[in-house]
Amino acid sequence: MGCCGSKKETPEETRKPYSWETREQIDPNDYTFDGIVNETVVRKQGSINGQPFVIKDCKDAKIFLLDAIATITIDDCSNCQFIIGPTKGSIFIRDCHDCKLICACQQFRTRDCTKIDTFLHCTTQPIIESSCKMKFGCYQLAYDGLEKQFTDSLLSIFNNSWYNIHDFTPVTESKNWMLVNEHVLIHDLFDLKSISDKDAASGNGDNEENEIEKTSLSAVSCNDSVIPLTRGSRERNFSESCLVLLFSSDNSVQTAFRLIATMKAKTQLIQTKEVTLSPDEIKRIISEQHLMKDWKTIRDGPVVGLEFNGEDCVNVCRKAVEQLEQESPTMYVSPSSDAARTEADSFYNFCDMRMSV
């Protein structure tokens, strides 16, 4: 029995609210572009915040999503240009034709598409299905806040399989896809620095151009892109290659980009990978362990691998690394081109195993 005059609590007063009752309600229409025709539309940073996004039934449009995204589907669009911010999950494109796309994601897939030019960063193997006349190039883009969006989306800037396309529906007479000509630059295909006269005349130019200017969006050279420009599966111009491993340290990413910039004039960057390895696993990759100066400096953590190709590539890499060793002493250079092939295979196998888990 309660005290005289005490108030008996009702179940409604004592029950704690469930999490879904206090969760912010999301309106899917706020994350949808439907029926955009002959316009430029922009979603700036902070306007999507990792939500799924849908684009459908758009024509002759320029669509810029400059924020981190969970997943995105693009359906029934034609003659459009898309800039898609880092996407934590998948990008799925269906029933589209004559479009151009710059995007980064964990998984990429198309179905029933024709003539889609994609500059891609994709962690896993990109997939096309019932699609033809598809072209792929390496992602090259920079705008303010993009690096943080990659981090928030859990995408490594070094794990890019843009060239390793799997075709679910191949044909015998020809390939359904090809790589973009290596001499083609993104700004040859995308007009990102200005809004066309047509957009301005339609009344969208001023507002949208201001949004783009605030974000400092531009088609950029490989020197400025947050993603290294890699050659991928294109034919190698030289017989000699070299693998450089940058072990876990506080500045390994910055050192990797400085090394890439140093090597650019004399070599070509074939591919890059990043995977978490232990010292024991690293020993299983390196063929000439006695060349490591101090194993005690190596710790568990992410290891960045850079594969270069060029004339006298091993010596060129070694000299470049020696210049940078004061900044990041935990680096390894393959002692020969033969060793590089073996070590690269072992390193990539580790990467594939970790990504498949």
3-state secondary structure 297-315: HCCCEEEEEEEEECCCHHH
Q: Per residue in 232-241, is it b (16+ CB within 10 Å) or e — as a string? A: beeeeeeebb
Consult the annotation and say whether 145 binds a ligand: no
CB–CB of 182/136 below 8 Å? no
Consult the annotation and say whether 234 binds a ligand: no
Question: Residue 111 and residue 81: Cα distance in Å, rounded?
Answer: 18
Consult the annotation and say whether 158 binds a ligand: no
Per-residue pLDDT of the chain (357 residues; tens, 9 = 90+): 555 555 555 555 567 776 655 556 778 889 999 999 999 998 988 999 999 999 999 999 999 999 999 999 999 999 999 999 999 999 999 999 999 999 999 999 999 999 999 999 999 999 999 999 999 999 998 888 899 999 999 999 999 999 999 999 998 888 999 999 988 878 778 766 544 333 333 334 455 555 555 555 554 444 588 999 999 999 999 999 999 999 888 888 899 999 999 999 999 999 999 999 988 888 888 876 655 666 667 778 899 999 999 999 999 999 999 888 776 668 899 999 999 999 999 999 988 888 776
Consult the annotation and say whether 108 binds a ligand: yes
CB–CB of 332/292 below 8 Å? yes
Consult the annotation and say whether 109 binds a ligand: yes
CATH class, 27-211 region: mainly beta
- pTM, two decimals, is 0.85
CATH T-level assignment (fold) for domain 241-356: Alpha-Beta Plaits (3.30.70)
Consult the annotation and say whether 90 binds a ligand: yes
Question: Residue 43 and residue 152: Cα distance in Å, rounded?
Answer: 17
Q: DSSP letter at 24?
A: P
Where are the domains positioned within the chain? 27-211, 241-356
Q: What is the pLDDT of residue 222?
A: 47
CB–CB of 105/91 below 8 Å? yes
Q: What is the pLDDT of residue 221?
A: 43
Which among 354, 251, 343 has a CA at the least distance from the CA of 306? 343
